[in-house]
Structure 1
Amino acid sequence: MFESLDPVVLARLQFAFTVSFHIIFPAFSIGLASFLAVLEALWLWTKREVFINLFNYWMKIFAIAFGMGVVSGIVMSYQFGTNWAVFSDKTGPVLGPLMAYEVLTAFFLEAGFLGVMLFGLKLVGPRLHFLATLMVAIGTLTSAFWILSANSWMQTPTGYAVNDVGQFIAVDWFKLIFNPSFPYRLTHMVLAAYLTTALVVGSVGAYHLLSNTRQPGARMMFSMAMWMIAVVAPIQIFAGDAHGLNTLEHQPAKVMAMEGHYQSHPDGAPLILFGLPDQDAAVVRYALQIPKLSSLILKHSLDAPLAGLDTVPRENWPPVPITFWSFRVMVALGFLMLGLGVFSLWLRWRGRLFESRPLHRFALAMGPAGFIAVLAGWVTTETGRQPFTVFGLLRTVDSVSPLAAPAVATSLIAFILVYFAIFIAGVVYILRLMAHPPHPGEEGPRGDTPERAAGITPAPAIATRRFS
């Protein structure tokens, strides 16, 4: 049944499927861990109950998202051995230590303090508990550091040599870790994680404000989310532009695919807004373009020449259609985020941040936008690197294990069935938690309330009802 299929394509599809599920959870948990640290710090500073209520509310959601992220990530480590054994053998001396550093620093830090963060508010006291929350937040950022360093080395490899058996080995760990694209990719990803979390938090706040604009928890989370989007979205656009210029320097074929430049433009390249890339004919059909604008963006000059894919051997071309469109999805969502931030600033200035239903509907619709943008950015990055796993050095077709197509196809189908069953159930449960607004006395995962956290015995239930 599957004998005629290409095992390389199937292996790539399997890894793409699992990493697509995985990446959305770390992107959310990185930002949410920092948000929780800010909420607890504000509670300790101001003693306002709204902050600890929001902390307990979002901590339950964080626990589920973190768990699903860990489970989905473990599967990928096995795929390196089963489907990509040649890649693992050749890059192991470089990527193996980087992945080990991620486990020894970030994962151990998260695992060591996660239990205290989730269940120890009353047991260890507020200040020590805040330290645990801060350590988990730092751990998520440290994890991003090592993972992005490893992936960035695959994009822009430096600090290596090749030994007698064809393996990449490190000769300068500093150059290897801080390779040319790493600072740009780390900045871009962390900002994307913060935007993703802000959009989710803002959409949940907007959902509850649409039914009741006087809810303190909904107002606070919505206000904080809109501030984050308004500040970070323009920074992300500038960071993305710097990342693009770095990519043009080190991976020009990727930028050619993103821009749809099959042909070179010696006197200024147009910016193709939309079109249908035809890989076989090497042309973008029905192109809607702005003359010379691509040269202005990439070279800061209207008449600057830009090379096209006609200068690259055809066997080294990335798959232009998917890279072209995934890049546009990411950019379009980025500008929608900017629009949401500007709109919220205008309504905040007018004093209508919590009463504007158009803003709330806009924020609610943008809730999934961060996840989609992260996936689109990942697709752009990884397909734009093709046909290489280590850019310019190791081709994808030379990286796979010697597996038959039926074996890979069977495991791919199994992954699809299991992932959809488990992770859809988890997402549905998260959405149910989000459907209930945060309320006074919000309980954490252990049942801790603000009163219990402060060592205060709650009043009897009858008295609570009498004065509520």
Structure 2
Amino acid sequence: MSEFLNAELLARAQFAFTIAFHIVFPAFTIGLASYLAVLEGLWLRTGNDAYLATYRYWLKIFAVAFGMGVVSGLVMSYQFGTNWAVFSDKAGPVIGPLMGYEVLSAFFLEAGFLGIMLFGMQKVGRRLHYFATLMVAFGTLFSAFWILSVNSWMQTPAGYVINEVGQFVPADWWQVVFNPSFPYRLVHMVLAAYLTTAFVVGGVGAWHLLRHRENRPARIMFSMGLWMATIVAPVQIVAGDMHGLNTLEHQPRKVAAMEGHYETGRGVPLILFGLPNDETEEVDYALEVPNVASFILTHDWQGEVKGLKEWPREDRPPVAIVFWAFRVMVGVGFLMATLGLWALYARMRGRLYDSPLLKRVAVVLAPSGFIAVLAGWVVTEVGRQPYTVYGMLRTSDSLSPIAAPAVATSLAIFAIVYFVVFGLGTLYMLKLMAHRPEVTERGPEEGKPMRAAGTTPVAAFEEPEHPEGDSHDD
């Protein structure tokens, strides 16, 4: 293996390492910002101080997660210049402006209103503070819009021409931004972010309820988190199916790797588990369900599905990694949906807060969203290989002329710094989550609610046999 190839593998590992740390923070803050907007809106609407206590509880955690997301993301932009200069030169006319729009619009919007959101509740009016919270929530979603547009263009490039020096140059910005996979990828990622936040919130609420059953903010967290699981997890399964069909249309070799299919055929079986073997081009010890893969991918029991043998070996993605990452993502998704349905059954029986087992499972599944997001990212990015711009620019042709020892040194430094800095930051967030949420009295400077407290109970979030005024928190 040549030094250049070693440098390529190390550069890919470095980018994978940094983005794996980074992606978990936006996946959490996108959903958490929207959750904070809902909580503040409910407090203003109902006057229930438990909503305000829950808002303040998660606001501190949001601030820490937002800061770590910003810092962890800065490093990646430098890698485009240091490790991937050829890619930056060739694709820069397209992806550069899109990333610039993200900073100038979404990030500045978030940063501009974040200070008011964090420190302004006692300094500005209620409506202005709520507006700031809404703008931060909108900014996180707008940031996801631009970043996913960039990534989707690299997956399904459109709206460009190649100039005389081999650069991708925009010909139609509408097609560049709204490329064929972008709508599906955006919906799938935003739903994944909401589910990630819902399971963290629900898990933290469950953890506190196991210790203090009548804690009102914890009951709100638990109930709202499981409502999101009940509603959004099945929607995400449908959105994932639509995204898969789009991927089959535009990136069939990625789907072949996801499914572990080497042979093209009709009535293709669904391989539940097995060991992909690139040498024999078969899946060893495969556990199969006849015809189901054809039905899922083509909605026809006898539909034709292309296998990896349709492409030369050098044009295929690493099959085993994509195959297993896809199964982790799907498996976790079905676990999330199952918990949501279990919670719905308990809620319909009026026993949502009565089952210790339900709460313990919610605690165990609290990090499940992060696992699914990381697995999904592996499927998306490793499945795109061996290209940076799918079908147009190979990864091996995108690398800077750098030596392997230099990349290895920077990767080792990144690993040490990231584990120390973001490890400590994560521990601090866990410490904040372990702190028991308390309902405190509002000061007069925070103003009166839009309705008198207690006049509009929200039954969806609290069981009727435990009224809002119940004082058994201790």
What is the TM-score of this pair, normalised by structure 1?
A: 0.94
Residues 152-179 of structure 1: per-residue CA shift (max 9 Å, x gap): 0000000000001100000000011000
Change (3 A) 1:134 1:189: same
Q: Which residue of 1 aligns with 2:415?
A: 416
Letter in 1 for 2:297: L
Q: Which residue of 2 aligns with 1:459?
A: none
Matches of 1:440 and 1:174, distance apart in 2: 49
Q: Which residue of 1 aligns with 2:345?
A: 346
* Contact map agreement 1:84 1:401 (CA 8 A) in 2: yes
Q: Which residue of 2 aligns with 1:402?
A: 401
2:154 is the counterpart of 1:161 = no
* Contact map agreement 1:217 1:437 (CA 8 A) in 2: no
Q: Which residue of 2 aligns with 1:116?
A: 116
Letter in 2 for 1:211: R
* Contact map agreement 1:3 1:406 (CA 8 A) in 2: no
Q: Which residue of 2 aligns with 1:454?
A: 447
2:22 is the counterpart of 1:26 = no
Q: Which residue of 1 aligns with 2:470?
A: none
* Contact map agreement 1:156 1:181 (CA 8 A) in 2: yes
What's the CA shift for 1:302? Answer: 1.2
Q: Which residue of 2 aligns with 1:173?
A: 173
Kindly report which structure 2 residues correspond to 1:428-443, keeping only aligned pairs within 5 A, or say none: 428-441=427-440
Kindly report which structure 2 residues correspond to 1:58-69, keeping only aligned pairs within 5 A, or say none: 58-69=58-69
Greater mean alpha carbon deviation, residues 411-420 or residues 292-301: 292-301
In structure 2, the residue corresponding to 1:124 is in which secondary structure? coil
Q: Which residue of 2 aligns with 1:276?
A: 275
Q: Which residue of 1 aligns with 2:261?
A: 261
Matches of 1:252 and 1:453, distance apart in 2: 56
Q: Which residue of 2 aligns with 1:96?
A: 96
In structure 2, the residue corresponding to 1:91 is in which secondary structure? helix
Q: Which residue of 2 aligns with 1:70?
A: 70
Matches of 2:92 and 2:301, distance apart in 1: 44
What's the CA shift for 1:110? Answer: 0.4
Residues 229-252 of structure 1: per-residue CA shift (max 9 Å, x gap): 100000000000000000000000
Letter in 1 for 2:424: A
Query: How much is the aligned-residue C-alpha RMSD, in angstroms?
Result: 1.4
Change (3 A) 1:4 1:188: closer
Q: Which residue of 1 aligns with 2:375?
A: 376
Residues 11-45 of structure 1: per-residue CA shift (max 9 Å, x gap): 00000000000000000000000000000001111
* Contact map agreement 1:106 1:143 (CA 8 A) in 2: yes
Q: Which residue of 1 aligns with 2:358?
A: 359
What's the CA shift for 1:101? Answer: 0.5
In structure 1, the residue corresponding to 2:161 is in which secondary structure? strand
> Deviating runs (4+, > 3 A) in structure 1?
2-5, 449-452
Greater mean alpha carbon deviation, residues 3-12 or residues 41-50: 3-12
What's the CA shift for 1:306? Answer: 1.3
Matches of 2:3 and 2:307, distance apart in 1: 37
Residues 116-147 of structure 1: per-residue CA shift (max 9 Å, x gap): 00000010121100000000000000000000
Matches of 2:443 and 2:374, distance apart in 1: 37
Letter in 2 for 1:99: M
In structure 2, the residue corresponding to 1:275 is in which secondary structure? strand
In structure 2, the residue corresponding to 1:289 is in which secondary structure? strand
2:56 is the counterpart of 1:56 = yes
* Contact map agreement 1:29 1:66 (CA 8 A) in 2: yes
Q: Which residue of 2 aligns with 1:229?
A: 229
In structure 2, the residue corresponding to 1:274 is in which secondary structure? strand
* Contact map agreement 1:161 1:169 (CA 8 A) in 2: yes
* Contact map agreement 1:122 1:455 (CA 8 A) in 2: no
2:302 is the counterpart of 1:303 = yes
Matches of 1:372 and 1:11, distance apart in 2: 23
Matches of 1:410 and 1:453, distance apart in 2: 52
Matches of 2:386 and 2:292, distance apart in 1: 28
Greater mean alpha carbon deviation, residues 276-285 or residues 139-148: 276-285
Q: Which residue of 2 aligns with 1:209?
A: 209
In structure 1, the residue corresponding to 2:383 is in which secondary structure? helix
Letter in 1 for 2:446: A
Matches of 1:370 and 1:107, distance apart in 2: 24
Matches of 1:235 and 1:375, distance apart in 2: 19
Change (3 A) 1:24 1:157: same
In structure 2, the residue corresponding to 1:351 is in which secondary structure? coil
What's the CA shift for 1:307? Answer: 1.4
Matches of 2:323 and 2:128, distance apart in 1: 49
* Contact map agreement 2:15 2:76 (CA 8 A) in 1: yes
* Contact map agreement 2:4 2:403 (CA 8 A) in 1: no
Matches of 1:450 and 1:76, distance apart in 2: 44
Matches of 2:27 and 2:435, distance apart in 1: 23
Letter in 2 for 1:119: F
In the alignment, structure 2 segments of 5+ residues that lack a partner are 450-473
What's the CA shift for 1:452? Answer: 4.4
Matches of 1:175 and 1:92, distance apart in 2: 16
In structure 2, the residue corresponding to 1:302 is in which secondary structure? coil
Q: Which residue of 1 aligns with 2:424?
A: 425
In the alignment, structure 1 segments of 5+ residues that lack a partner are 443-448, 457-467
What's the CA shift for 1:282? Answer: 1.1
In structure 2, the residue corresponding to 1:277 is in which secondary structure? strand
Residues 317-372 of structure 1: per-residue CA shift (max 9 Å, x gap): 00000000000000000000000000000001111111111100110000110001
How many residue pairs match? The answer is: 449
Matches of 1:239 and 1:3, distance apart in 2: 42
Q: Which residue of 1 aligns with 2:152?
A: 152
Q: Which residue of 2 aligns with 1:463?
A: none
Matches of 2:391 and 2:233, distance apart in 1: 33
Residues 184-208 of structure 1: per-residue CA shift (max 9 Å, x gap): 0000000000000000000000000
Letter in 2 for 1:438: P
What's the CA shift for 1:5? Answer: 7.3
